[in-house]
Structure 1
Amino acid sequence: MGKRALVLINKSAGTGKAGNNTFAIATGLAERGYEPIVYPIIPGSGLTSETIIGRYDGQVDEIVCSGGDGTLNHVVGAVMDIKDKPVISYIPAGSTNDFAKGLGIPSVHASALEVALDGYPFSYDVGKMNNRYFNYVAAFGAFSKVSYATDQDLKNILGYAAYVISAISELPQSLGYNSHMKIDIDGEIIEDDYVFGAVCNSGSIGGMNIFGKTDVKLDDGEMELLLIHAPKNIVEFNEILGALATNIESSNLITIKQVKKVKFMSETECEWTVDGEFGGAYKETDISVINKAITIKVKHKK
């Protein structure tokens, strides 16, 4: 039997254009000796990445997915739960495509298709938050809801601008947010009030380049922990804003560490965002990094 490729299309993601290249994807795969097996991803139905991929364990050589960061999150989660892990090709069709930017996958569909068909395999780190996997971010606190709470129709029309509008509308409640956390960072305990926290495998979150010129490595067995301490007055608040706008490492109110394992403990349940989707609410949250767990096609050999 020849090679087989599972093609998953989430047309409801991002701008709704994920299905436009389905024929080109199938044609390109067939020309390269693959038997393409095409499925639509329909949220809320039985056609999900988890159910489809689980049925093809050990039966496909590659998975091609077209959708947003959330689509890729579900594909990766399903691949992590099967025995034989095929290489993944990702054609980004979301509103911000943060993780694709970190991988160097083009946002233009034709260019992304070229990478999906003829790119180079690259194995990267995957995060695990409690019982859920993530590619590039698990976050709590101010503005962390924006990515999954923003109206999909607004995102389809405005793209990244929709996130900005939603963030502004949330500004009053976000500025008043803080969560008291005890955090175990690879055995070191710290404790404080935080307005935002994230474990990241990407320099871009919500379309914004959070870490500036810092080179965020995706395959070193570690992820970046970002903690923004709750400001006690307007001076500290302005200091945080200035650091985020210019140099994130310039303020003592912002903590950045590389981590392999981290545990967050709070007295009340804290809501989390995982790769732009609601990730649950917990009093205790364990996050670990699984080194080079997933292989994906990228533009340049790494």
Structure 2
Amino acid sequence: MKERKLRARLIYNPSSGQEIMKKNVADVLEKLESFGYEASAFQTKISPKSAEIEAKRATQDGFDLIVAAGGDGTINEVVSGISGNEKRPKLAIIPAGTTNDLARALKIPRNNPIDAVDIIGKNQTLKVDVGVATPIGKDSKYFINIAAGGALTELTYSVPSNLKTMFGYLAYLSKGAELLPRVKCEKVRVTHDQGVFEGKMSMFFVALTNSVGGFEKIAPDAKLDDGKFTLILVKTDKLFELIALLGMVANGSGKHVNDVNVEYIKTSHLKVEPLEQKRPTLINLDGEFGGEAPVEFDNLKNHIEMFVNLDEINDLNYIGDDEETLAFEAVAQKFAEEADRMKSE
């Protein structure tokens, strides 16, 4: 009896990363064929949840591998389409977006689709955790890298898509600097595995990986497969204290985790409840709008098997020396220098 050939479905966003995927679809499919897959492609539409709907269809149709090509939003949609099914295909990613946080954590080459798909050929996989966010009274939504709430969560929605395509990281960093002075604390109750935090908070992060907004050390001890979130609560809205925290994150020292203005907690479940809601606490899931608090988060341990670069996954350095990385490192250095200057004053 002839053995069934493995099937792979490439789901790609044609607009991501200066339309880099449109130029490489044929080469990616050829690579997948060389790895033993019967490969086909789906180009996402402008309609909502296009990638999610196709990922769900391909999963239920029994595909063995789904390759998600695009930015963090496209990858989130594909993860969402896969995660609700009992039998799930393996997942690989080709990063072609602005921040590419998941790719940074998995050490997948960025902005080079052929190098990224070559990771599949190494046949190194890891069963990674997936997060579920459930706003009270609303449907659950999945995320695979980061959930955030409070100040700065509007950052992703505030940067026009054409600027993200043209300027990438620098568009986010410029908008972030503009929003910092508007950060305000609100009183919340956060229930987690270790107990309850009740007090003032300006923002929170629920991380599955160590990379948030391009900062690869914001959750320095995050593990991809331990069933735990890294919960970071920021308890200040003072501009100079926020800049100091950013400086500690940017210089990679990891000292921010012990700062008096930070709660740094490991937990598999948490609930965030605003106690004096002056304005809605918006939730950001992998860079996309995820509803409003109150919200609960659950960690689905080892939920999806992903192709990762295991040879490099513990490496503390960035992959490559592309223009985006060099630009980010320059901005990070400026954050660190500014923090040091303010401490000395």
Q: Which deviates the most, 47-56 or 216-225?
A: 47-56
Counterpart amino acid of residue 290 in structure 1: L
**Offset of residue 187 of structure 1:** 5.9
Q: Tell me whether 1:51 sits opposite 2:60 in the alignment.
A: no
1:274 is aligned, of 280, 285, 302, to: 285
Match of 2:105 in 1: 102
**Alignment deviations for residues 104-149 of structure 1 (CA, whole Å, 9 cap, x no partner):** 1111333212013443111111111110111111001222221233
Between Structure 1 and Structure 2, the one with more strand by share is: 1
Counterpart amino acid of residue 97 in structure 2: G
1:224 is aligned, of 216, 220, 230, to: 230
TM norm structure 1: 0.90
Match of 2:70 in 1: 67
Match of 2:87 in 1: 84
Cα distance in 2 for partners of 1:292, 1:255 equals 26
2:301 is aligned, of 279, 283, 291, to: 291
1:200 is aligned, of 194, 204, 207, to: 207
Match of 2:123 in 1: 119
Cα distance in 1 for partners of 2:246, 2:145 equals 23
**Offset of residue 241 of structure 1:** 5.2
User: Identity rate of aligned residues, in percent?
Assistant: 27
Cα distance in 2 for partners of 1:114, 1:220 equals 26
**Unmatched 5+ stretches in structure 1:** none
SS at match of 1:60: coil
Cα distance in 1 for partners of 2:221, 2:174 equals 29
Cα distance in 2 for partners of 1:16, 1:120 equals 28
Contact 2:71 2:98 in 1 (8 A): yes
Q: Tell me whether 1:39 sits opposite 2:42 in the alignment.
A: yes
SS at match of 2:76: helix
**Alignment deviations for residues 205-229 of structure 1 (CA, whole Å, 9 cap, x no partner):** 11123437x3321101101000010
| 1:239-254 → structure 2 map (5 Å cutoff) | 240=245, 243-244=248-249, 246=253, 247-254=255-262
SS at match of 1:170: helix
Are residues 89 and 158 of structure 1, via their aligned partners in 2, closer, same or farther at CA, if it must alter by over 3 Å? same
Counterpart amino acid of residue 162 in structure 1: A
Aligned length: 296
Contact 2:10 2:41 in 1 (8 A): yes
Counterpart amino acid of residue 152 in structure 2: F
Are residues 24 and 193 of structure 1, via their aligned partners in 2, closer, same or farther at CA, if it must alter by over 3 Å? same
Match of 2:156 in 1: 147
RMSD: 2.2
Cα distance in 2 for partners of 1:251, 1:164 equals 23
Contact 2:258 2:264 in 1 (8 A): no
Cα distance in 2 for partners of 1:99, 1:237 equals 25
Between Structure 1 and Structure 2, the one with more helix by share is: 2
Match of 1:21 in 2: 24
1:257 is aligned, of 233, 250, 265, to: 265
SS at match of 1:14: helix
Cα distance in 2 for partners of 1:62, 1:294 equals 11
**Alignment deviations for residues 177-215 of structure 1 (CA, whole Å, 9 cap, x no partner):** 222110101261110111110100122211123437x33
Counterpart amino acid of residue 111 in structure 1: D
1:185 is aligned, of 188, 192, 196, to: 192
**Offset of residue 242 of structure 1:** 5.4
**Offset of residue 55 of structure 1:** 2.4
